[in-house]
Structure 1
Amino acid sequence: MTSGFCGIRTRCLLRMPEKPFLRSPTLHRRLYVTKCSVSIGTKEEKVIVISGPTGAGKSRLALELAKRLNGEIISADSVQVYRGLDIGSAKPSLSERNEVPHHLIDILHPSEEYSVGQFFEDARQATRDILNSGRVPIVTGGTGLYLRWFIYGKPDVPKASQEIASEVHSELADLERDEDWDAAVQLVVKAGDPRAVSLATNDWYRLRRSLEIIKASGSPPSAFQIPYNSFREQCSPSLTDNCPCINSSTEVVEQVKQKDLDYEFFCFFLSSPRVDLYRLIDLRCEDMLSGSDGILSEAKSLLDTGLLPNSNPATRAIGYRQAMEYLLRCRQQEGRSSAGEFFSFLSEFQKASRNFAKRQLTWFRNEHIYQWLDASQPMEKVLNFIHDAYNVESGTMTVPESLKMNRYASNRRETLDLKAYRTKNRHFIHRDHCSDVLEWIGRTQQ
């Protein structure tokens, strides 16, 4: 049984907004499936989506692909939108951005909020602009909800009036100032949204948004139809329940109504065997702490602007939250830190990053529009496959066996390797290897 490449012939149904996709820096801002094989359509408006867990190499792949296809890149990363958060978000360098146009990078100050709804509007407008210019949109990033809305559409949730927004702000302002998250959650639960208890702690934006929706419509956010859920409901239960490939390395492509997606999406998920991925992540965390302009320096800048860890989207980001908390402890100790404290912070940073990658893998296993590709294969091989898949006019495109990455359960060997996995640092091995970092902390955090 072979896997199919997901190319979806669709027509554009969405009327795009007239406003430019970039916000001002000053604003606060069924392709029917049989035998698990899919025929590719010939729709003119094609969009490539490349995702993957943190550290998989998706940004480099997107860059090289853009060079080949005369493309432009749209970032689907919830941290890269913020200016100054470069190292921790693995933001493309200025030279790379000069070489290939990038969108939705450096558009906000770290103190500003950026929602999935705003991303949908901005990314869809950028897509339209790129297509109108005769170039190829390549959307890349690991923020799963951003990509889900981008592909399937935005929920039709009412927008709150200025009066309602102000009322909600007043109701929650004191609780937010006092950092009384539990009381705020209970307030929203009593207002009509029992699911508020499942929000991430201190996600004040989503809590406010839930209360706004309740006041504007009389219903909680869960009462409104989510386009992605509609697509899932259209799938034949027999496909996912009985298809023998669900537990093999063969990909399953989600049934969707051809007419209901706005573009022909070519979606790829780049990943590596989990142990290899974890090793790459651990080493990348080390790299982010090396030198005087690493993630600690960026975390210092966040603290210096008056932001606190876990207080808004930017300060909740993996790496920044841990770094800010570590620096705050150093400040409380008059700029002092022991090597043991540094290694404890590093271990926490690495563990949080690995756990984030694990959550990404879990999320995208349920996104069957993606073809999973092996990131450990030569870049040229992966590029050639995606390039040919994009340019094929008709027929069935099958992922070569050598490029397939199993999205489902690990084999016994991998499971054992994961249980035995231990971090092996490359730079920070002995206590004296962090002396430069501790010296920097002593100079800057008194």
Structure 2
Amino acid sequence: MISGLRVGGLRMSCLRLPYAAEAPLVRPSFQPSRLRRRSRLFSTSCSAAAPRKKGERQKVVVISGPTGAGKSRLALELAKRLNGEIVSADSVQVYRGLDIGSAKPSFSERQEVPHHLVDILHPSEEYSVGQFYEDARQITGEILSRGRVPVVTGGTGLYLRWFIYGKPDVPKASPEITSEVHSELADLQRDGDWDAAVQFVVKAGDPGVQSLAANDWYRLRRRLEILKSSGASPSAFQVPYNSFKEKLESSEIDASGMKSSSSEFNESTSKNLDYDFICFFLSTQRLDLYRSIDFRCEDMLLDDGLLSEAKWLLDLGLLPNSNSATRAIGYRQAMDYLLMAREQGGWSSAKEFFNFLSEFQKASRNFAKRQLTWFRNEPIYQWIDASKPLENVLRFICDVYDDDTGKLKVPRSLCMEKDISNLKEVRLLKAYRTKNRHFISREDCNGILDWVRRTQGEATISIR
């Protein structure tokens, strides 16, 4: 059985509601000197997983949302009420040691509720969506067999899409083919000749590799393995989600010429899925979300937090953007920043630090924007406003879980609109500028610059 390890000293995740000056967005667990007690908010509970009738699908709750929206805390409190266990659908939380940048659940939170697929890999290892599907489906079955409720939570859209709809029937490469592919690409990877490697696979018969992110050697090798195993590129294999999407699109216009609603999709097409998936997407107004993300990035840099983890990755011999762990937002930017400091003998100017922070914040906001776009096209999710009282959100989700009609929809008081329809908000978004909370003047980053000098000085050998 694969499950999350209970490792101490991990940072807390939290429900990140829209910014208010008197209430810090990110729980100060990123700042050990400012830890505060967290009061227990609830005492009531929903009904736990009940035995299902023969032929009746078992229920699985899915909580997603953009980075910084508060899905982790919502999932935690929901799992307490439902007698549930949490399955992480986060592509970074699988890695040991990447605690702050992935906003991992704390040790105490993981004692309260079992967490799975957290801290299962070393950062040098790769983790794929296919492996997540296998692991998460296995764990889900085990949780249900114990009479408990699986609460799957995370913001990695492809992980959740495959988990819900299934994975493509792509062949697994034999050890011989895997070895052959590694041998063919080894010299190019050692020399860092990504363009030549891409063209090699294109000539082999898979032009789709040209859309891969630069230096994504794992996916490049995997696509060549599929090509050699089957004689076809990965795009030739049917993706289950696409089949469901086609059914939705073909049924959008009914006999009377009226467009069907997404709720009708949930009641009809979703019945063909393996489980009764109850899916929610937690978000908030874009301006509040962006402001929250910017503050969250700052908080991750306090007490040398994220930079210490990035230093550890470099000390392991890893380079930014070289594998799954080092491509993660925050770590990639922090590793680049520290490598620059190492090349300068441990010296960094305040301007260079602020440039790094700005890139980190911008990348995080852009990621949230991509998440919103991705899930906007996922009809199985009901959108909930993260700014509403948590107790009200929990009560509604519990009601949906207990309901067997499948007709309970988000009330207007909790509903989050998928699209921006307010022209004023559109104008404000275009004019948005980051306003930091901790790092405002040059003096505010002196502590970090001192840490960089101490840890990235001449004694540190550059690995670039």
The TM-score with structure 1 as length reference comes to: 0.88
Given that 1:49 and 1:268 are in contact with CA atoms closer than 8 Å, whether structure 2 keeps it comes out as yes
SS of the residue aligned with 1:337? coil
**Structure 1: how far apart are the matches of 2:389 and 2:417?**
17
Alignment of 1:258-337 (within 5 A): 258=270, 260-292=272-304, 294-337=305-348
Query: Is the contact made by 1:56 and 1:272 (CA closer than 8 Å) also made in structure 2?
Result: yes
- Secondary structure of 2:90's aligned partner: coil
Shift of 1:259: 5.0
**Cα distance in 1 between the residues matched to 2:253 and 2:363:** 32
- What is the alpha-carbon distance in structure 2 between the residues aligned to residue 410 and residue 110 of structure 1? 42
Aligned length: 407
- Counting only pairs closer than 5 Å after superposition, residues 5-404 of structure 1 correspond to structure 2 as 20-22=1-3, 43=56, 45-237=58-250, 239=252, 253=265, 257-258=269-270, 260-292=272-304, 294-394=305-405, 396-404=407-415
Secondary structure (helix, strand or coil) at the match of 1:401 reads coil
1:189 aligned partner, one-letter code: V
| Structure 1, 406-415 or 334-343: larger mean CA deviation | 406-415
Where 1:396 maps in the other structure, the secondary structure is coil
- Partner Cα separation in structure 1 for residue 221 and residue 406 of structure 2: 48
CA–CA distance in structure 2, aligned partners of residues 243 and 206 of structure 1:
42
Native 8 Å contact 1:235 1:256 kept in 2: no
* CA distance in 2: counterparts of 1:252 and 1:258, whole angstroms: 9
Change (3 A) 1:412 1:376: same
Tell me how far 1:236 sits from its aligned partner: 3.9
Alignment RMSD: 2.0
Match of 1:27 in 2: none
Distance 1:79 1:113, change over 3 A: same
Distance in 1 (CA, whole Å) between partners of 2:434 and 2:275 is 42
CA distance in 2, matches of 1:394, 1:106: 38
- Partner of 1:5 in structure 2? none
Tell me by how many angstroms 1:257 deviates: 3.4
Aligned partners of 1:283 and 1:189: how far apart in 2?
Answer: 43
Q: Residues 188, 255 of structure 1: CA spacing in aligned structure 2 closer, same or farther, 3 A cutoff?
A: farther
Contact 2:100/2:306 (CA < 8 Å) preserved in 1?
yes
Deviates more, 1:98-107 or 1:397-406: 397-406
Unpaired segments ≥5 residues, structure 1: 1-19, 25-40
Decide whether aligned partners of structure 1 residues 233 and 409 sit closer, same or farther in structure 2, where only a CA change above 3 A counts.
same
Distance 1:101 1:146, change over 3 A: same
Change (3 A) 1:378 1:440: same
Q: Corresponding residue for 1:17?
A: none
Farther off after superposition, 331-340 or 403-412: 403-412
**Do the aligned partners of 1:234 and 1:256 also contact (CA within 8 Å) in 2?**
no
In structure 1, C-alpha distance between the alignment counterparts of 2:447 and 2:79, rounded to whole Å: 39
CA contact (8 A) 1:252 1:368 kept: no
Question: What TM-score do the two structures reach when normalised by structure 2?
Answer: 0.85
Q: Deviations over 1:131-177 (max 9, x none)?
A: 00010000000000000000000110001100000000001111111
Measure the CA separation in 1 of the matches of 2:238 and 2:260.
30
Q: 2: distance between equivalents of 1:258 and 1:318?
A: 33
Identity %: 71
By relative contact order (CA 8 Å, sep 6+), the higher-ranking structure is: 1
C-alpha change, 1:258 and 1:89, in structure 2 (3 Å) is closer
- 2-side partners of 1:258 and 1:271: how far apart? 23
In the TM superposition, what whole-angstrom CA distance separates every residue of 1:202-247 from its partner, at most 9, and x where no partner exists? 111111011001100100000011100111111243627986798x
Structure 2 runs not aligned, ≥5 long: 6-51, 458-464
Partner of 1:36: none
